[in-house]
A and B are shown apart, each in its own frame.
Chain A
Amino acid sequence: MLNKNSLILLVLAVALILIGLVMPYWFSFLVTVALGKGLVVLGLVILMRAGLVSFGQGLYYCAGAYAVGAFSHFVETDNVILLLAVAMLAGLVISSVVGLLLSRYRDIFFAMFSMAFSMILYGVLVKSAELGSSDGFNVTSPSLFGFAPEVNGGSILSYWVAIILAFVFGAIIWRYFKSPMGVAGEAIRENEIRVEYLGVSVQKVIYIKYIMAAVLASTGGAITAMTVGHIDPEMAYWTTSGEFVFIALMAGTGHVAAPLLGAVIFELLRSFAFQVSPYTWQMILGITLLAIIIFLPKGLWSLKDKLMKGAKS
């Protein structure tokens, strides 16, 4: 029933879930936060494949996190499934409205408009004292109907949820990229008019891609909120969205696994840069990105093709 590839993926997912039991806690935490970001970047990659760069994914990242925060606070639930559903719904509702406008714009206009919308959310949150203004507020840690296993001094549930979601969404998007709708993205990037002449509504394709990216981003925000236990408007600030673009450029858009792995590598890099040189960690990140742009213009994922070619010849 399962083909070879999906079997390998399934084994890998189970292995990662089990490894979580013996991992040092800081590492599983780092991976969880990274996968949360990775999902946002995965959404960004969907848009980038269609030639659109969004500088506003922070809008949905933050909306997802605040949906979790507000819902757990006011409804007093810590059910992880419910919280995730609420976050995804928030992303879906907001993006289906905002997307109507944004799907008509391209290039720099799309980038700027998307950023503007995320900054509106930032401004509104900073103004609302009930939600803690710029300080934000704390979120209770999640449980699955009261089940929240503790391993190495911390709850491992968020890590498991992040791994499962990364694999599920990764598989869905992988299928999507192979579907006509998915491939239409590249066609739109290359020649939009021609796609229209083929009888495909470009605006509709982009609208759907935008909503998918938003749902992924709000899921990522929900994972971050549940793991970190604190949310603040900084999540909607344009520098947060810029970080997602940074990871996407670093990782490359070649494969669905690229943004997820790229996010983990980015978090590891940043974390060790912090530790090794507290004064110049920004420089280490900057030099790494420059080096990747110069030597691997298609991102870290292109390294895989290069290595494979090298092995064959």
Chain B
Amino acid sequence: MLKTISKIAVCGALALGTVVSAANAADNYKLGLVTFLSGGAAGPFGVPAKNGADMIIDAINAGTLPAPYNKVGMNGVKIDPVYVDEAGGATKQVSEYRNLVERQGVNAVVGYISSGDCLAVPGVAEEMKKVTVLFDCGTPRVFEEADYKYVFRTASTTTMDSVAAVRYISEKVKGLKSVSGINQNYSFGQDSWNDFSKSLEQLNAGVTVSTTQFPKIYAGQYGAEVSALMVNPSEVIHSSFWGGDMEAFLLQGSARGLFDDQQVLLTCGETALYKFTDNFPEGTIVGGRGPNGIFAPKSDFNDWFQKEFKARFGTEPTYPVYHMVQAILGLKLATEKAAAAEGEIPTDEAVASAFEYLEYDTPAGKVVMANGNGHQAIQEMVFGQVSKVDGELVMKEVVRYPASCVNPPNGVKAEDWIASGFEGAVCN
């Protein structure tokens, strides 16, 4: 027993040594990047986001980005990425977060796709006073339930997807009398449906709900659910499916003719849009959790970004790529804004105050850190319908909703905002 204890002590001492040496080496800016590298969320989200990080960090280190991102690295210091797998649940991620900060001595952390991790990590981030940028998770609870100083999220919450989806179908679907829903039985699926149905009650009170299905996440087989959707027909089927589940649902639904007279609305459809184009029925309403990918506003920055990503990885960048890139760009701008001199890495405190209420341009247009007292981004939201012209993917009936139209004002809970009938929304 004593032997084992001494072994542990040696391990601890060694690790302590690495912490000390890491703190001394300041010639690189160590950036902790946490994203799914294994499991069901790795394919559609985690690995594309990691590719996006690789690409943008290479470009930043080479100093080839347009102004205001043209400084080499972070304020002249080259970025050295440290990757961690997000798999394993919130307990492990809190533990790994500490390891990143203390053992590896990272200067900042960018990461987290799962909403559970995004709720668990900020507490530790505050305790350790380390600037942390949540890049992809969607739950509005993060900044509604607590105030944070060092934690930021540079992508909008899922509230925006549901509110914009309701606005879109009310405007574009003719003769809308009923909707139905199929969502995964976990927080994201439940919240998506909840926001969607509550928004519908506010905006279009006459529309009824024909059926709501909540299959298990990663179920893969939707025979029973497709039957239920077919015997309870509606004009629009709402789904927040993603990854393999979404692809399976599209295939199984198409085979049985589910989409022949019912239009399907996929709030996360954009992740599979490019590699899975042929399986999207004509007229599928697709969202991309923000103005990402095919919905990105035209700009030189985005043209370069899309071309470069496609050349390097052989596929179009999907929304997780955009989310990752805007998180790193925001961190870069805030760091440089906080720094006094070239080559200096400012304190976490200075970076955090420079990050608050930041507004900046990204390949996905403007990101404004307007909510959560300057810690939560809002963006515009776009929906469109899939159409194929000579086998090429084209989006038709595209509608852009300004950020102020689909996001609650600062300090208002998403739930209350929807219940109040979107008080303060500015839609022009």
Contacts and interface: CB of A to CB of B under 8 A. Distances in A.
A257 B141 CA distance: 41
A286 interface: no
A-side interface mostly = helix
Contacts of A97: none
A268 B85 CA distance: 16
Interface in A189-229: 224, 228-229
Contact of A279 (B37, B123, B129, B146): B37
A96 interface: no
Interface in B79-101: 83-85, 89-92, 94-96, 98-99, 101
Interface stretch (A41-49, A80-88, A103-111, A130-138): A130-138
Given A228-B90, A232-B89, A304 B119 contact: no
A25 B101 CA distance: 10
A294 interface: no
A144 to B, nearest CB: 18
B15 interface: yes
With most chain A CB atoms within 10 A of its CB, the pick from B83, B90, B103, B141 is: B90
Contact of A30 (B16, B95, B139, B186): B95
A267 B8 CA distance: 12
Contacts of B37: 278-279
Nearest to A136: B116
Contacts of B128: 153-154
B102 interface: yes
Contacts of A248: none
A138 B186 contact: no
Nearest to B35: A278
Given A26-B98, A135-B139, A271-B95, A279 B103 contact: no
B115 interface: yes
Given A138-B120, A271-B99, A230 B85 contact: no
A149 interface: no
A218 to B, nearest CB: 16
Interface string B3-29: 111001001100110010000000000
B188 to A, nearest CB: 8
Given A153-B128, A234-B90, A275 B12 contact: no
A33 interface: yes
Contact of A232 (B15, B90, B185): B90
B116 A234 contact: yes
A304 B8 contact: no
B94 A282 contact: no
A230 B119 contact: yes
Given A25-B98, A134-B116, A230-B90, A261 B4 contact: yes
A29 B141 contact: no
B157 interface: no
B116 A27 contact: no
A20 B38 CA distance: 34
A177 interface: no
B190 interface: yes
Contact of B96 (A235, A274, A279, A307): A274
B38 A229 contact: no
Given A23-B12, A261-B4, A135 B96 contact: no
Nearest to A271: B99
Interface residues of B, number: 48
A112 interface: no
Contacts of B145: 138
A129 interface: yes
Nearest to A129: B190
Contact of B99 (A26, A137, A282): A26
With most chain B CB atoms within 10 A of its CB, the pick from A33, A136, A229, A279 is: A229
Nearest to A231: B90
Given A275-B104, A279-B85, A138 B1 contact: no
Contact of B120 (A230, A235, A304): A230
B186 A126 contact: yes
A257 to B, nearest CB: 6
B102 A25 contact: yes
Nearest to B145: A138
Given A154-B127, A257-B1, A134 B120 contact: no
B187 interface: yes
Interface string A252-284: 000001000100110110110011001101100
A136 B193 CA distance: 18
B127 A132 contact: no
Contact of A135 (B99, B119, B129, B146): B119
A29 B119 contact: no
A297 interface: no
Interface string B140-168: 01000110000000000000000000000
A84 B281 CA distance: 55
Nearest to A37: B91
B426 interface: no
Contact of A282 (B11, B38, B120, B191): B38
A234 B89 contact: yes
Nearest to A134: B186
Nearest to A239: B89
B95 A230 contact: no
A247 to B, nearest CB: 14
19 contacts: A23-B12, A24-B15, A24-B102, A29-B98, A30-B95, A33-B95, A127-B185, A132-B119, A133-B186, A133-B191, A135-B116, A136-B120, A154-B128, A228-B95, A232-B90, A232-B116, A234-B90, A234-B91, A265-B4
Given A235-B91, A267-B95, 12 more contacts: A24-B12, A29-B95, A126-B186, A129-B190, A132-B141, A132-B187, A135-B139, A136-B120, A224-B91, A230-B90, A268-B11, A275-B84
For the complex of A and B, the 10 pairs showing the least CB-CB separation, nearest first, are A230-B120, A134-B186, A135-B187, A133-B187, A26-B102, A26-B98, A234-B89, A134-B187, A135-B116, A229-B123
